[in-house]
Amino acid sequence: MRANSARPLNVIYQRLFPGGYYNVQADVIPGQPFWISDPNQPLGRVLNPNAFAAPQGDDGNFPRNSLRGFPYSQVDAALRRRFRLTEKLDLDIRAEYFNILNHPVFADPITLWGAGGAGPLPLFGKTGNTLNVGLGGGGLMGGQAALYAPGGPRSAQFMVKLSF
Protein backbone atom coordinates (compact mmCIF):
# COMPACT_ATOMS: atom_id res chain seq x y z
CA MET A 1 0.00 0.00 0.00
CA ARG A 2 1.20 3.47 -0.84
CA ALA A 3 -0.23 6.52 0.89
CA ASN A 4 0.70 10.20 0.95
CA SER A 5 -0.77 13.07 2.88
CA ALA A 6 -2.05 15.96 0.81
CA ARG A 7 0.61 18.07 -0.89
CA PRO A 8 0.84 21.82 -0.21
CA LEU A 9 -0.87 24.20 -2.62
CA ASN A 10 0.12 27.74 -3.54
CA VAL A 11 -2.41 30.01 -5.21
CA ILE A 12 -0.40 31.95 -7.77
CA TYR A 13 -0.81 34.87 -10.09
CA GLN A 14 1.32 35.36 -13.19
CA ARG A 15 2.68 38.85 -13.70
CA LEU A 16 3.65 39.97 -17.17
CA PHE A 17 7.04 41.66 -17.49
CA PRO A 18 9.26 42.31 -20.47
CA GLY A 19 10.72 38.89 -21.17
CA GLY A 20 7.74 36.85 -19.99
CA TYR A 21 5.62 35.85 -17.03
CA TYR A 22 6.67 35.06 -13.48
CA ASN A 23 4.66 33.62 -10.62
CA VAL A 24 3.81 35.47 -7.41
CA GLN A 25 1.47 34.61 -4.53
CA ALA A 26 -2.10 35.90 -4.85
CA ASP A 27 -3.74 38.22 -2.32
CA VAL A 28 -6.31 36.80 0.10
CA ILE A 29 -9.75 38.41 0.43
CA PRO A 30 -10.61 38.46 4.17
CA GLY A 31 -13.76 36.64 5.24
CA GLN A 32 -14.00 34.39 2.19
CA PRO A 33 -13.59 30.60 2.62
CA PHE A 34 -10.77 29.01 0.63
CA TRP A 35 -12.86 25.93 -0.26
CA ILE A 36 -16.47 25.83 -1.46
CA SER A 37 -18.62 22.80 -2.21
CA ASP A 38 -19.24 21.78 -5.81
CA PRO A 39 -21.06 18.46 -6.33
CA ASN A 40 -19.91 18.41 -9.98
CA GLN A 41 -16.25 18.06 -8.99
CA PRO A 42 -14.68 14.69 -8.16
CA LEU A 43 -14.20 15.29 -4.42
CA GLY A 44 -17.16 17.65 -4.00
CA ARG A 45 -15.12 20.80 -3.39
CA VAL A 46 -13.18 23.44 -5.31
CA LEU A 47 -11.01 26.41 -4.45
CA ASN A 48 -13.10 29.56 -4.14
CA PRO A 49 -12.06 32.07 -6.86
CA ASN A 50 -13.66 34.89 -4.80
CA ALA A 51 -11.23 34.25 -1.92
CA PHE A 52 -8.24 35.54 -3.94
CA ALA A 53 -7.24 38.61 -5.91
CA ALA A 54 -4.37 39.91 -7.98
CA PRO A 55 -1.55 41.03 -5.65
CA GLN A 56 -1.31 44.75 -5.01
CA GLY A 57 2.39 44.74 -4.18
CA ASP A 58 5.32 42.77 -5.52
CA ASP A 59 3.99 39.57 -3.98
CA GLY A 60 0.60 38.71 -2.54
CA ASN A 61 -0.27 38.05 1.09
CA PHE A 62 -1.36 34.42 0.59
CA PRO A 63 0.78 32.37 3.02
CA ARG A 64 3.02 29.95 1.14
CA ASN A 65 2.01 26.27 1.47
CA SER A 66 -0.98 27.10 3.70
CA LEU A 67 -3.50 24.98 1.78
CA ARG A 68 -3.41 21.26 1.12
CA GLY A 69 -4.57 19.39 -1.96
CA PHE A 70 -5.96 15.87 -1.97
CA PRO A 71 -4.47 12.86 -0.13
CA TYR A 72 -3.45 9.74 -1.99
CA SER A 73 -3.59 6.02 -1.26
CA GLN A 74 -3.34 3.00 -3.51
CA VAL A 75 -3.03 -0.75 -3.00
CA ASP A 76 -0.73 -2.69 -5.34
CA ALA A 77 0.05 -6.41 -5.31
CA ALA A 78 2.67 -8.66 -6.86
CA LEU A 79 2.88 -12.44 -7.10
CA ARG A 80 6.02 -14.23 -8.21
CA ARG A 81 7.40 -17.71 -8.37
CA ARG A 82 10.76 -19.16 -9.42
CA PHE A 83 10.95 -22.68 -10.80
CA ARG A 84 14.36 -24.37 -10.86
CA LEU A 85 14.19 -26.48 -14.04
CA THR A 86 17.79 -27.71 -13.96
CA GLU A 87 20.91 -26.80 -12.04
CA LYS A 88 21.58 -23.89 -14.44
CA LEU A 89 18.09 -23.14 -15.76
CA ASP A 90 15.46 -21.07 -13.88
CA LEU A 91 11.99 -19.98 -14.94
CA ASP A 92 10.59 -16.85 -13.26
CA ILE A 93 6.90 -15.97 -13.48
CA ARG A 94 5.57 -12.70 -12.08
CA ALA A 95 2.23 -10.85 -12.07
CA GLU A 96 1.96 -7.27 -10.81
CA TYR A 97 -1.29 -5.43 -10.20
CA PHE A 98 -1.52 -1.66 -9.75
CA ASN A 99 -4.44 0.04 -7.96
CA ILE A 100 -5.96 -3.37 -7.34
CA LEU A 101 -9.06 -1.86 -5.66
CA ASN A 102 -9.55 0.51 -8.64
CA HIS A 103 -9.95 3.46 -6.25
CA PRO A 104 -9.92 6.80 -8.11
CA VAL A 105 -7.20 9.21 -7.02
CA PHE A 106 -7.54 12.77 -8.26
CA ALA A 107 -4.87 15.35 -9.02
CA ASP A 108 -4.64 18.54 -7.02
CA PRO A 109 -6.77 21.47 -8.23
CA ILE A 110 -5.38 24.06 -10.62
CA THR A 111 -3.89 26.88 -8.54
CA LEU A 112 -3.19 29.50 -11.23
CA TRP A 113 -5.71 32.19 -10.23
CA GLY A 114 -5.02 34.75 -12.96
CA ALA A 115 -2.41 36.09 -15.35
CA GLY A 116 -1.34 39.40 -16.89
CA GLY A 117 -4.22 41.50 -15.57
CA ALA A 118 -6.92 38.86 -16.04
CA GLY A 119 -9.13 37.84 -13.16
CA PRO A 120 -9.93 34.29 -12.11
CA LEU A 121 -9.27 31.79 -14.87
CA PRO A 122 -12.19 29.44 -15.74
CA LEU A 123 -10.47 26.25 -14.51
CA PHE A 124 -9.06 27.74 -11.30
CA GLY A 125 -9.65 25.57 -8.25
CA LYS A 126 -10.99 22.59 -10.20
CA THR A 127 -9.45 19.23 -10.86
CA GLY A 128 -10.12 17.47 -14.10
CA ASN A 129 -7.53 14.71 -14.06
CA THR A 130 -6.63 11.66 -12.12
CA LEU A 131 -3.28 11.76 -10.35
CA ASN A 132 -1.44 9.74 -12.99
CA VAL A 133 -2.31 12.31 -15.68
CA GLY A 134 -1.82 15.29 -13.33
CA LEU A 135 1.74 14.16 -12.58
CA GLY A 136 2.56 14.20 -16.29
CA GLY A 137 2.61 10.45 -16.79
CA GLY A 138 3.03 9.39 -20.42
CA GLY A 139 1.95 11.46 -23.39
CA LEU A 140 3.90 14.49 -24.53
CA MET A 141 5.20 15.19 -21.02
CA GLY A 142 7.19 11.94 -20.99
CA GLY A 143 7.75 10.05 -17.79
CA GLN A 144 6.24 6.78 -16.68
CA ALA A 145 3.34 5.41 -18.70
CA ALA A 146 0.10 6.79 -17.27
CA LEU A 147 -1.33 3.27 -17.02
CA TYR A 148 1.23 2.27 -14.35
CA ALA A 149 1.74 5.67 -12.65
CA PRO A 150 0.30 6.28 -9.17
CA GLY A 151 -3.39 7.10 -9.23
CA GLY A 152 -4.18 5.42 -12.55
CA PRO A 153 -6.92 2.88 -13.21
CA ARG A 154 -6.48 -0.76 -12.21
CA SER A 155 -3.87 -2.38 -14.43
CA ALA A 156 -1.66 -5.44 -14.50
CA GLN A 157 1.53 -6.63 -16.10
CA PHE A 158 2.89 -10.13 -16.45
CA MET A 159 6.43 -11.42 -16.92
CA VAL A 160 8.02 -14.75 -17.82
CA LYS A 161 11.82 -14.97 -17.75
CA LEU A 162 14.08 -17.88 -18.51
CA SER A 163 17.53 -17.58 -16.90
CA PHE A 164 20.45 -19.79 -17.92
Residues 6+ apart with CB under 8 A from 101: 74, 75, 154
Beta bridge partners of 82: 92
103-161 tens-digit pLDDT? 888 888 888 888 877 778 888 988 878 887 766 655 555 566 666 778 888 889 999 99
The reported pTM is: 0.72
In tens, the pLDDT along 5-18 reads 888 999 999 888 78
Q: Would you state the pLDDT for residue 139?
A: 54
Q: How far apart are CA 62 and CA 55, in angstroms?
A: 9
Mean per-residue pLDDT for 83-108?
92
